[in-house]
Structure 1
Amino acid sequence: MQNTVGLGLRREFLDEVLTQAPNVGFWELAPENWFPRGNEAYRTLDRIREQAPLTSHGLSLSIGSPDALDIEFIKKVKTFLDRFDIAIYSEHLSYCSAGGHLYDLLPIPFTDEAVAHVVERIRQVQDIIERPLVLENVSYYASFANELSELDFINAVLAQADCKLLLDVNNVFVNSVNHRYDPYDFIAGLPSKRIIYGHIAGHTEEYDDLFVDTHGADVKQEVWDLLDFAYQQHGLFPTVLERDFNIPPLPTLLAEMNKITTHQQRVVGAREQRFQKHSA
């Protein structure tokens, strides 16, 4: 992907996408929401990818689970990615199954043992899908067995598995409030070469010290500021606006998505001004 902006594809505005072909850099979707639906759904995706490329953000891989990997599921994902020429398969650095599906994304303990467990599973997935696995830093509300910091855990997984990172800027901000760390230091500590693309989203402020990553509100200014810093620190990367609940009309979503372009242009403009100043 180039330095473009994307939007999560949702059924609430699917008909409008098909009839209006809105100006979106790329669409992000969850493979498991599509591949059980058959040929009609596939024809719909073929029409959509004539407008803009597709990328994928899965929900069910459960990379940190104690359960065995679902190899048949991963093979279905691979077939889906190949069918629609999708280069990127991203998932969550978390787990959602343990003796059965748990219907939530739960945090992996930040330990060396957990790093080794996850790294081995990532390698298996990458061998099957024949692509790098791209993992998202997740929001979490309780932490367990923290031998490592969240940042050290993520960096260890990325390095040892030789995989890539989906940088969710809102999750960094939410976690920084809930777990009392500096979000700017966190983002500065991530490896630029691993970042493939990013997410921004809205969250809910339940209390002063408890923010919840709901994907159901507009992006807060603190998150926009943090996105600017991430661009400054790591260079521009493609970025998706996520909205899963309280979904507004598509033109409203597109206007918020286009703010990403404005922030990217602002960072580039500031960089050019600094270059011209030093060159004068």
Structure 2
Amino acid sequence: MLDSQTFTVFKDLIYEKSGINLKEGKESLLEARIGKRMREIGLSSPKDYFEFLSRDQDGCELVSFLDAISTNVTQFFREPQHFQILEQVLKRWASKGQTKFRIWSAASSSGQEPYSIAMTVANTLNMANYDVKILGTDISTKVLSKAKLGIYDKKEFGDLPRHYQLAYTHSALEPNYFEVDQKIRSLVTFSRINLSTPPFPMKGPFDFVFCRNVMIYFDSVVRNKLVADIHRLLKPGGILFIGHSETLTECPVRYTTIKPSVYRKEGDEDGS
């Protein structure tokens, strides 16, 4: 097991570079996650690996390190109530004449969330009449590579409704794997972003932001900066979705609660 001093220097590095607040008692978890990377580069000691990281001039090893320690638990249509609300609001805004929609999946992991968003949009709107762009971001280059491919094991479909499977996916070359259709993938652009380092480069405004099940890894300082910059990027009346286990109770900017884990930026909600 990692000794306490080595764990602390790794813990501080992880917080500095990703905002993830790794709590005490996670020594075995950290050791397991960096172990594979250490074997790949021929190191046997966590102390040696930390020294290797410290000498990393171009940042490539740091990216690999953050890939290793990031948690990427996701599935299609996770927390399905959010997608029902997305559909309802899309219909309402479209009925009022809005034709341009911008959506940010802030912790997109391997792509299931932004593709679920894209399927919901395509199922709700006549896409020929609307300008829709979805941004999927994550700190892990590894999961972003998978997301861009859009190929998943059938077991990863989770709660993906059957009619969405039929309408928006097709069999991949490998048995028991399916590929998200190009018409859905074309709606989504993926980019690497570190959510702990706002302000973010996007101009906005976004109509919807999904920032779900990632703030639980941040302390209040990082979380409040993140939520404040999301507020800046949302249009007046724009919608923020967070994880059901998360809260905005200490948030420094004002949101109106629509439902638990669903918030609206103050302003004219029908503004575009």
TM-score, normalisation: structure 2: 0.29
- Higher CA-based Rg: 2
TM-score, normalisation: structure 1: 0.29
